[in-house]
Amino acid sequence: MSPARRSWRPRLATASRGLPLRIARASTTTMAAKAWMLTICPAGSLATRSFVSASLIVIRKELTNVKIMPIAGLVVIATSAAKCRTSTAHQRTTLEAGPNLASNPHRESDILSFAAMRQGLETDFGPTVQDVASNGGRDRQVREATLKNRGTTMAELQTFAEDCREILVERHRRGEISRRGMMLALGAMGLAPAVLRGGPALAAAPDVVMANWGGDALKAMTATFGANYEKNVGGKIVMDGTGPSNGKIRAMVEAKAVTWDICDAGSAAIGELGPLGMLEPIDYSVVDKSKTIPQFIYEFGVCNYLFSFVTAWDTTKIKTTPTPADFFDIKKYPGKRMVRKDAQPMLELALMADGVAPDKLYPLDVKRAFAKIASIKEHLLYWENGTQSQELLRNGEVVMGWLWHTRANLLKRETKGRIDWNFNDGVLVSGLWVVPKGAPQVKQAMIALKSFQDPEPQVGLLAALGNGPSNPAANAITPAELQPINPGAEANLAVQAKMNYDWWMKNYAETLIAYRDMISS
């Protein structure tokens, strides 16, 4: 018997929580190419089994360059990044986008594998190939080395984009949003792959690879932004859900091995990486400045969606809308308060409570803000992800909290108004698109960013999740019933402070370290 046909005994590897992994030879009688079948035993869900079965798309013929590693209590498999991204359209397409039948020489095995994945995805969610390759976000260590302090590190703080994905999944599972609605919303945030649509054929444009904080984006087969780009430009948006941490972007640029064209990032990215020459300047001869709120236009980044930090309160204990001063007045409203374990934008809330007008906040008086926060420090509870912020208010552990408006709105619905909120004295924040220096498709990335500015998909995202459109023109087509939850609506803009990213880009790292020291002492 030849080595290629030799039976292979199952091997076992142990995950961080004791879950074993079995690797066995897949049957090749119905497949065009030999491949390895990967299954987790015992499996936590059908989706997990289907995902590793679907890895046949990437892991072919042999186990060369395959790594077995524990992530979040599961043993998972990853191939090298170089093997997953090559010059052909099929090989550059990620697992989420499915098999490219036009250019795939192994179509039969891909179809079978992808069908298995689709079946599992009807039930649950599994990791993406890119999630696996990221090794649990290990590449955030560059930033963590600077920001690590007592307690939580930045890697443990959930980003707004990650929380949006989690909210969509929760709403879908509760039956509050359809599967299609969830897919469209994920796509509008850059968390879902594009799917080919019918219609007039356009000349093929280069693929554009977008890095986001995916994971559950594996489930989404229709993308609002991707479909819009494909329809109007003719190319595809290929998704990489590993999470574009600053450390990872920096490592790619320094190694001259950039694989991403667009990243869903924030002020920390343009503040840290822009001055180092690691981001491409946004080409505003292509990207339209008039389609973005002026405060969120930067040399190395442009707004993708809006969200707000707002105050939510328990109406059984607080009868009227509390002000920032009320938030810090324990005598007037006894009980615990809840804030994010981050200086941004806690300092803005503290200064407004101390009498600073919203339009006079910057430059922030850090010492004054710290003194105000210290005055109620023993009454503060801290959240690190959106679910925690909901639970603390829902369970009555706090009487009011400072949290993302999307979570506040969910709480109001869930509690039938017991928890209330509004945009008064909130802080408006922007997500940002950035383009890494040396991206393979810089010119095409700018064209893609221009297509993302169209108002229709942005309004769809607002309807599904509450993320505000970044294009002011979208307000004209936003249904009246959605305006109260739109952070970018004119009436809501008028009562909020607007985060000044210029200040935070210069001061974030040292301010966060000082903030963590202060709340931990």
Q: What is the pLDDT of residue 173?
A: 64
Distance (Å, rounded) from C-alpha 465 to C-alpha 17? 34
Q: What is the pLDDT of residue 174?
A: 66
Does the residue 15 lie in any domain?
A: yes
- My answer on whether 264 and 120 are in the same domain is no
**pTM flag (> 0.75):** no
Q: Which long-range contacts (CB under 8 A, 24 or more apart) does 327-334 make?
A: 327/353, 327/400, 327/402, 328/353, 328/372, 328/375, 328/376, 330/376, 330/379, 333/399, 333/400, 334/399
Tokens of 211: 């890095």
Distance (Å, rounded) from C-alpha 146 to C-alpha 510? 9
Does the residue 512 lie in any domain?
A: no
- My answer on whether 50 and 170 are in the same domain is no
- My answer on whether 156 and 102 are in the same domain is no
Q: How far is CA 411 from CA 167, 336, 404, 407, in A?
A: 11, 18, 11, 6
Does the residue 234 lie in any domain?
A: yes
Which residue is it, tokens 């949003």?
177
- My answer on whether 179 and 143 are in the same domain is yes
pLDDT of the chain, 521 residues: tens digit per residue: 444 444 333 333 333 333 333 333 333 332 333 233 333 333 333 333 333 333 333 333 333 343 333 333 333 333 333 333 333 333 333 333 333 333 333 333 332 333 333 333 333 333 333 333 333 343 344 344 444 443 444 556 777 766 776 777 677 666 676 665 666 666 656 554 433 333 334 445 678 898 877 643 333 323 466 677 877 788 888 878 788 899 999 999 999 999 999 998 877 788 889 989 999 999 999 999 999 988 899 999 999 889 999 999 999 999 999 999 999 999 999 999 999 999 999 999 999 999 999 999 999 999 999 999 999 999 999 999 888 999 999 999 999 999 999 999 999 999 999 999 999 999 999 989 999 999 999 999 999 999 889 998 788 778 877 889 999 999 999 999 999 999 999 999 999 999 998 899 889 889 999 999 999 98
Contacts of 325 (CB under 8 A, 6+ apart): 353, 355
Cβ-count burial 457-481 (b if 16+ within 10 Å, e if not): bbbbbbbbbbbbbbbbebbeebeee
Distance (Å, rounded) from C-alpha 222 to C-alpha 239? 12
- My answer on whether 111 and 176 are in the same domain is no
AA letter at 76: V
Q: What is the pLDDT of residue 143?
A: 41
Q: What is the pLDDT of residue 434?
A: 95
Q: What is the pLDDT of residue 184?
A: 60
Quick check: 125 and 215 in contact, CB under 8 A? yes
Residues linked to residue 313 through DSSP beta bridges, in sequence order: 400, 420
Does the residue 153 lie in any domain?
A: yes
Tokens of 519: 């709340």
- My answer on whether 174 and 212 are in the same domain is yes
Does the residue 388 lie in any domain?
A: no
- My answer on whether 69 and 147 are in the same domain is no
Distance (Å, rounded) from C-alpha 333 to C-alpha 329? 6
Q: Count the neighbouring beta carbons within 10 Å of the beta carbon of residue 260.
A: 25
Total domains present in the chain: 2
- My answer on whether 160 and 295 are in the same domain is yes
Cis link prior to 436 (omega < 30° from 0)?
A: no
Does the residue 408 lie in any domain?
A: no
Q: Which long-range contacts (CB under 8 A, 24 or more apart) does 351-359 make?
A: 352/324, 352/425, 352/497, 353/323, 353/324, 353/325, 353/327, 353/328, 355/325, 358/425, 358/496, 358/497, 359/497
Q: How far is CA 332 from CA 17, 335, 369, in A?
A: 47, 10, 21
- My answer on whether 33 and 143 are in the same domain is no
- My answer on whether 110 and 163 are in the same domain is no
Tokens of 82: 């170089």
Residue 53 buriedness (CB in 10 A; 0-12 / 13-18 / 19+): buried
- My answer on whether 116 and 163 are in the same domain is no
Q: What is the CATH number of the domain that holds 293?
A: 3.40.190.10
Quick check: 427 and 353 in contact, CB under 8 A? no
- My answer on whether 171 and 281 are in the same domain is yes
Q: What is the pLDDT of residue 104?
A: 36
Domain span holding position 257: 139-305+430-468
Quick check: 420 and 319 in contact, CB under 8 A? no
Quick check: 106 and 33 in contact, CB under 8 A? yes
Does the residue 73 lie in any domain?
A: yes
Does the residue 212 lie in any domain?
A: yes
